[in-house]
Amino acid sequence: MKRVFSGVQPTGNIHIGNYLGALKQFVELQDDHQCIYCIVDMHAITVPQDPKALKEHILDVAALYLAVGIDPEKSIVFVQSDVPGHAELSWVLTCSSYTGELSRMTQFKDKSKNKESAPTGLFTYPVLMAADILLYDTDVVPVGNDQKQHIELCRDLATRVNGKYPGTFVVPDGRFLKEGARIMALDDPSKKMSKSAENIHSRISLLDEPSKIKKSIMKATTDSDGVIRLDTENKPGISNLLNIYSVLSETPVADLEKKYEGKGYGDFKKDLVEVTVDALTPIRERFEEIRHSEELMTILRDGAEKADEIARKTMKRVKENFGLGL
Ligand code: TYM
């Protein structure tokens, strides 16, 4: 069975972009892959965090993993900082990376724009991400499009190390969905939907109540020509809503275009509200059931143990190949 690894940062406001780009794939893959899903808390501290809130967000993401359908009987679910191998391998990979390639990462460029100096962790963030992936001999990494450049860097690092020390790493492939890979902000479809945007109506969070979902969708930016058609370049707002509708309802975009021929944006949006509420309500209900349960803690503890077992084997090989330790 091929091995899958992916992670989500515990920063609150997990939204339908995260769901449609990543989490939905996590669930689909677990029947015929060996899946490892991580809550990447060490990535979260690349920007300032309130310790209490961070702890809560770790458990929120863990509960959301289960609420969307990740099955701990099939998949390993754990918290990154519970497995020391991530930090250990990250250092080894840091020593195989170049400042030039890290400076070219667009996410780093965006986050450090107009700042005289940026936190080092923000700069080396993609190396830690590569360590996450390579630590588990991962074959497939399901992610949204915004992580493409980081996956490429991970592949480059693995290939570079293998060139020097053959057989050290498995070179992984990214897995991107066609329609969910880049969900845009509802208030500005030129930007991707993000957890940190100030306007809460720019996103639909997985735990939003129906009234909030309705408000955000009805307010979503469209255009003035009134035709429901996928045209990302000229009609980015309605194209984004079509993508969301298509993935949530598992209906091809072409069928939706036919269904809404001659109809207005108002009708389309009303139906999208219904589809979204129907998709998110069971997730919210399941989340409430498990978020404060002892079961959640047990799953994370068991998950860390299983992950650590795999990680130790990889680190043993890595240290041997690099000549580290006794
Ligand atoms: P994060 O926490 O920002 O996002 C989690 C996942 O959601 C995807 N995503 C989106 N997909 C579609 N449309 C959007 N608007 C959208 N916004 C986010 C992301 O691509 C991601 O798959 N660096 C990663 C976390 C990470 C990781 C890893 C992922 C750390 N180590 C190892 C895979 C493998 C991140 O910040 O994701």
pLDDT digits (tens, 9 = 90+) for 211-253: 999 999 999 999 999 999 999 999 999 999 999 999 999 999 9
Would you call 195 a catalytic residue per the annotation? yes
For 56-115, write each residue's pLDDT tens digit: 999 999 999 999 999 999 999 999 999 999 999 999 999 999 999 999 999 999 988 988
199: phi then psi, degrees, rounded to nearest 5:
-75, 115
Which of 2, 148, 195, 212 is labelled catalytic? Answer: 195
CB atoms within 10 A of CB 74: 14
Report CA(101)–ligand 1 centroid distance (Å).
20
- Does the beta carbon of 17 lie inside 6 Å of ligand 1? yes
Dist CA 246 CA 240 (whole Å): 10
Amino acid at site 113: K
- Does the beta carbon of 183 lie inside 6 Å of ligand 1? yes
Dist CA 283 CA 280 (whole Å): 5
Region 271-293 average pLDDT: 98
Tell me the pLDDT of the chain averaged across its residues. 97
145, two tokens: 């499009």
Report CA(68)–ligand 1 centroid distance (Å).
16
Q: Which residues contact 28 (CB under 8 A, 6 or more apart)?
A: none
For 158-193, write each residue's pLDDT tens digit: 999 999 999 999 999 999 988 888 999 999 999 999
Query: Best of 146, 182, 240, 248 to mutate for ligand 1, by most ligand atoms within 8 A of CB?
Result: 146
Q: What's the pLDDT at 181?
A: 84
- Does the beta carbon of 154 lie inside 6 Å of ligand 1? no
Region 294-300 average pLDDT: 98
Is 276 a residue whose pLDDT tops 90?
yes
DSSP code per residue over 217-271:
HHH----SS------TTT-HHHHHHHHHHHHHHT--HHHHHHHTTT--HHHHHHH
